Amino acid sequence: MNHHQPQPKIGVYVCHCGTNIAGTVDVAKVAETMAQEPNVVVSREYKFMCSEPGQNIIIQDIKEHHLDRVVVASCSPLMHEPTFQKACEKAGLNPYLFQMVNIREQCSWVHQDRDKATAKAIALIRAAVGRVVYQEPMEKVKVTINPQTLIVGGGIAGIQAALEIADSGHKVYLVEKESTIGGKMAKFDKTFPTLDCAACILTPKMVSVAQHENIELLTYSEVESVTGSIGNFTVKIRKKARYVKDNCTSCGECSQVCPVQAPNPFDENMSLRSAIYKTFPQAIPNTYVIDKEDRPPCRETCPIGQEAAGYIALAAQGRFQEAARLIREQNPLPLICGRVCYHPCESECNRALVDEPVAIKNLKRFIIDWELAHGGPYLPKPPTEKKGKVAIIGSGPAGLACAHDLALKGYQPTIFEKLPVAGGMLAVGIPEYRLPKKLLQQEIDGIKKLGVTIQTNMALGRDFNLSDLFKQGFQAVFIATGAHKSLKMNIPGEEDFKGVYHGVDFLRHVNLHQPQPIGEKVAVVGGGNTAIDAARTALRLGAKEVTILYRRTRKEMPAEEAEIEAAEAEGVKIEYLIAPVEVLGEKGQVTALKCTRMELGEPDASGRRRPVPVPGSEHLKSFDTVIIAVSQSPEIDFNQGSQTLKLTKWNTITVNPETLETGIPGVFAGGDVVTGPDTVITAMSDGKRAAEAIDKYLQGEPLENFKTHRSRQLAPRTPDDRPHRFAPRFKDTPRQPRLRIKELDPLERRTNFQEVELGFSEEEAIQEARRCLHCGLCVECHACEKVCEAQAIDHSMQDEIIEIKVGQILIATGYQTMDPKDLIPYGYGRFPEVYTSLEFERLVNSAGPTGGRILMKNGREPRSIAIIHCVGSRDINHHPSCS
């Protein structure tokens, strides 16, 4: 209270209520005690404070003592608060400067000990005296009441209430969280007491709701918040995305083609339904809805957002053509990805929580190989109207993906490639035995058919520069020149002898069929994929013994585990914790490496423990060929002239990570030249994003709200971390290990460049695809979209928040069924033929999972049925409020 305001003057009145209070509470003592309280001016007791003489005492005191606060300690406020407030008002005191204390129900009626009851009364009144000081006068105001009503819950109660209120001429919003109204009654077969058919009573009412002009139906919606007060509420409602628009004709074609089958909650999970469904035939609104929990982790982690779960679901049903088409809609190089992608999708696959990840990469490979063998690739048609010319520098996965997407957007892309072949590292880095070049050529030919021109032997900086391109009419440029410069170790002798190669140069020469003389004893220095590829390539070129020297341990090796195993199977040896310090030779030819032993020290910037030389451990190892494969960086000798690109200290090009714009207007960059050595799929992701950015740029649109995917970091993975519905059937999934792909025999394959991996058979592909858990339910295979004649399906739909104003809210959210598993003696969940009443309703319902026949899980009719009533409600362990 403000110190400058006058002190309040409080009157306290203690009622005897005959002997009701005074019989147990020492009212005289209470009144005397309260008289001593701060700010209390008068404190009295009286037989019946509510009587007229009682009220007059208060009125008189207010006037005489100028009381500005009153506390009455008597019976319940429900009974007499208004009585005393009126008395205050009569005396000219605002009725809200009054406090009432219930010392009858709280003290005298519930206690026998006079002293304790009295002490409690004093404590309660003292608290009221303390509170009343803070009260402020309030005035009565008249407000208009909004006549609109919100009903939450579209079961039979909500439906009936909505119809009656709407019939009285007032607007009703009926909010239902499910996709249809009807609630539990829609699941019943019969309703008591007349044993009428539930549907016959319910469905006409549902139709009336849909048709009533005063009812606005909001299904698949939930109340988010309510503000305001009685008569005037503002309610926020989340309309969840149905992914099916109102023009759905309910033909059901979509659910016929949906490859996902999940337990059907409407049938109490005793049947399956597809991810696109209508809850029951008479559902209101009578449209389909897609059950989409979240995007599956395989898709979210893929840098191009490939709908892996979608093509896997189609493959599981043998629908390989559709699967291939789905893959190609998103992925310009699926033949490549099916063979060499490092599959971040598999690292996050939820199936690993059951046993092992789904073999997503190998399934993609099978589907696309199948497509090739059955009529060739599906090629989308670019628009006939052309938008403009775009130059792309570099024909690796970034350049090819960009050209592919630009062509489909109506542009005329030209790729300029420095080397005599197109494909970037796919052509000159990755060896033939992992990626047959004729398959790469097939993909490139497909991209050319979209209208993409590729000019080989044309290098930026050597044959033309950026301003030449703009002069020639190119409106934008995408630089995707990769990282082709082998890094040197900078040790003595590295440049001095024949027989010393550097990783990517060595592989490029081999891939371009340029001679690379190889000795008998080969050392490969490094621990990444380039080192492994160099070692396996050296074997195939005739080396007798190939040893990889790596300065850390196997745990820190950046190469793919599968690649390391394949190399070892072929006979490549790996020595850990060793590093060359000098290359030695005789007569111009390498003969040995001087090496030092290493040990692991503190972690470095990469988080891996830093290797440190062991003093005095230097020793010689003889080799006649040494391949140094310790990494590579971009060759940016083209970055000269009036306008230069900004570079990082690793010689990568600096771009805006969102838009891939460089500092030069109209010039974009992506792939390894920006990220440093990375992967095919991240380069493709950049290529696709660059195509979208260039399109926006050339159309004069702001470079924001990109549609191209960026992979999402997912929460750490344990069975409990991810919600169960995200991997819906994970707990019940029988273990089934992932199928291994067949390979050529290691001893046979090490002598040639034939493709090592052989792929799945049709049966194997189906078997492996069936391991997918359909995380998130709808797997976005888009099969439904393709058959929907009304074009009602929209996977991009978002939840919508709407705001409504209502005067009253009616809650009709029904009941939750009890989980009978806790009632252990009844055996529910342990014995297959114990049902809940709701499950039994579905079994006897002609629209239920058994068409109305009571059948056991083995399909046979039971000989006898026992029905146990009131199992839960009569058990105080579960329902304490039950009689």
Q: Which of residues 614-643 bind ligand FAD (CB under 6 A)?
A: 635, 638
Q: Write down the residue that tokens 């599906």 correspond to.
A: 378
Angle, in degrees to the nearest 10, between helices 437-449 and 397-408: 30
- Nearer to ligand SF4 by C-beta: 785 or 875? 785
CB of residue 327 to ligand SF4, shortest distance in Å: 14
- Nearer to ligand FAD by C-beta: 69 or 418? 418
CB of residue 398 to ligand FAD, shortest distance in Å: 3
CB of residue 285 to ligand SF4, shortest distance in Å: 18
Q: Are 794 and 245 in contact (CB under 8 A)?
A: yes
Cβ–Cβ contacts within 10 Å for residue 467, how many?
12
Q: Which does 781 bind (CB under 5 to 8 A by kind): ligand FAD, ligand SF4, none?
A: ligand SF4
| Mask for 306-345, x = binds ligand SF4 (CB under 6 A) | --xx--x---------------------------------
SS3 category, 157? helix
Part of the chain binding ligand FAD (CB under 6 A), chosen from 79-87, 527-535, 734-742, 775-783:
527-535
With binding defined as CB under 6 A, does residue 424 bind ligand FAD?
yes
Q: Which does 341 bind (CB under 5 to 8 A by kind): ligand FAD, ligand SF4, none?
A: ligand FAD
Q: Are 483 and 634 in contact (CB under 8 A)?
A: yes
85, 203, 306, 481: which one binds ligand FAD (CB under 6 A)? 481
As a whole number of angstroms, the distance between CA 369 and CA 409 comes to 27
With binding defined as CB under 6 A, does residue 419 bind ligand FAD?
yes
| Mask for 695-714, x = binds ligand FAD (CB under 6 A) | --------------------
With binding defined as CB under 6 A, does residue 399 bind ligand FAD?
yes
As a whole number of angstroms, the distance between CA 338 and CA 755 comes to 13
As a whole number of angstroms, the distance between CA 812 and CA 799 comes to 23
CB of residue 655 to ligand FAD, shortest distance in Å: 13
Closest to 99 measured CA to CA, from 127, 66, 141 = 127
CB of residue 658 to ligand FAD, shortest distance in Å: 18
507, 548, 784, 823: which one binds ligand SF4 (CB under 6 A)? 784
With binding defined as CB under 6 A, does residue 417 bind ligand SF4?
no
With binding defined as CB under 6 A, does residue 564 bind ligand FAD?
no
CB of residue 830 to ligand FAD, shortest distance in Å: 49
H or E stretch at 597: strand 589-603
Q: Write down the residue that tokens 């008068």 correspond to.
A: 42
With binding defined as CB under 6 A, does residue 359 bind ligand SF4?
no
| 798's tokens | 């978002």
Q: Which does 460 bind (CB under 5 to 8 A by kind): ligand FAD, ligand SF4, none?
A: ligand FAD
| Mask for 245-284, x = binds ligand SF4 (CB under 6 A) | ------------xx-x-------------xxx--------
Phi, psi of 756 (to 5 degrees): -75, -45
CB of residue 372 to ligand FAD, shortest distance in Å: 20
- Nearer to ligand SF4 by C-beta: 237 or 260? 260
Phi, psi of 517 (to 5 degrees): -55, 130
With binding defined as CB under 6 A, does residue 823 bind ligand SF4?
no
With binding defined as CB under 6 A, does residue 533 bind ligand FAD?
yes
With binding defined as CB under 6 A, does residue 753 bind ligand FAD?
no
Return the sign of the alpha-carbon dihedral for residues 566, 568, 571, 575: positive
Part of the chain binding ligand FAD (CB under 6 A), chosen from 110-118, 157-165, 424-432, 493-501:
424-432
CB of residue 528 to ligand FAD, shortest distance in Å: 8
DSSP character at residue 522: E
With binding defined as CB under 6 A, does residue 405 bind ligand FAD?
no
- Nearer to ligand SF4 by C-beta: 693 or 777? 777
Q: Where are the beta strands (DSSP E) in 269-398?
A: 272-274, 276-277, 289-290, 388-393
With binding defined as CB under 6 A, does residue 773 bind ligand SF4?
yes
Part of the chain binding ligand FAD (CB under 6 A), chosen from 3-11, 159-167, 672-680, 852-860:
672-680
With binding defined as CB under 6 A, does residue 782 bind ligand SF4?
yes
**Residues binding ligand SF4: what is the number (CB under 6 A)?**
29
As a whole number of angstroms, the distance between CA 618 and CA 448 comes to 54
As a whole number of angstroms, the distance between CA 278 and CA 275 comes to 10
Residue type, 55: Q
- Nearer to ligand SF4 by C-beta: 579 or 765? 765
How many C-alpha atoms does 232 have within 13 Å on its Cβ side?
5
As a whole number of angstroms, the distance between CA 749 and CA 704 comes to 49
Q: Where are the beta strands (DSSP E) in 403-472?
A: 411-416, 453-455
Neighbouring residues of 787: CB distance < 8 A, sequence distance ≥ 6:
253, 254, 256, 257
Phi, psi of 867 (to 5 degrees): -115, 125
- Nearer to ligand FAD by C-beta: 414 or 547? 414
State the virtual CA torsion across 395, 401, 404, 407 in degrees, nearest 10: -90
As a whole number of angstroms, the distance between CA 256 and CA 242 comes to 18
As a whole number of angstroms, the distance between CA 502 and CA 498 comes to 12
58, 425, 479, 775: which one binds ligand SF4 (CB under 6 A)? 775
| 582's tokens | 């000098």
With binding defined as CB under 6 A, does residue 183 bind ligand FAD?
no
The bridge status of strand 632-633 relative to strand 485-486 is antiparallel
CB of residue 548 to ligand FAD, shortest distance in Å: 14
- Nearer to ligand SF4 by C-beta: 116 or 740? 740
Q: How far is CA 631 from the centre of its chain?
A: 35
The bridge status of strand 800-806 relative to strand 232-239 is antiparallel
Angle at CA of residue 435, ends 434 and 438, nearest 5°:
145
> Where does this chain bind ligand SF4 (CB under 6 A)?
257-258, 260, 274-276, 290, 296-298, 308-309, 312, 349-351, 358, 360, 772-775, 778-784
> Where does this chain bind ligand FAD (CB under 6 A)?
340-342, 393-399, 416-419, 424-426, 429-430, 459-461, 480-482, 484, 504, 507, 529-530, 533, 635, 638, 671-673, 677-681, 683
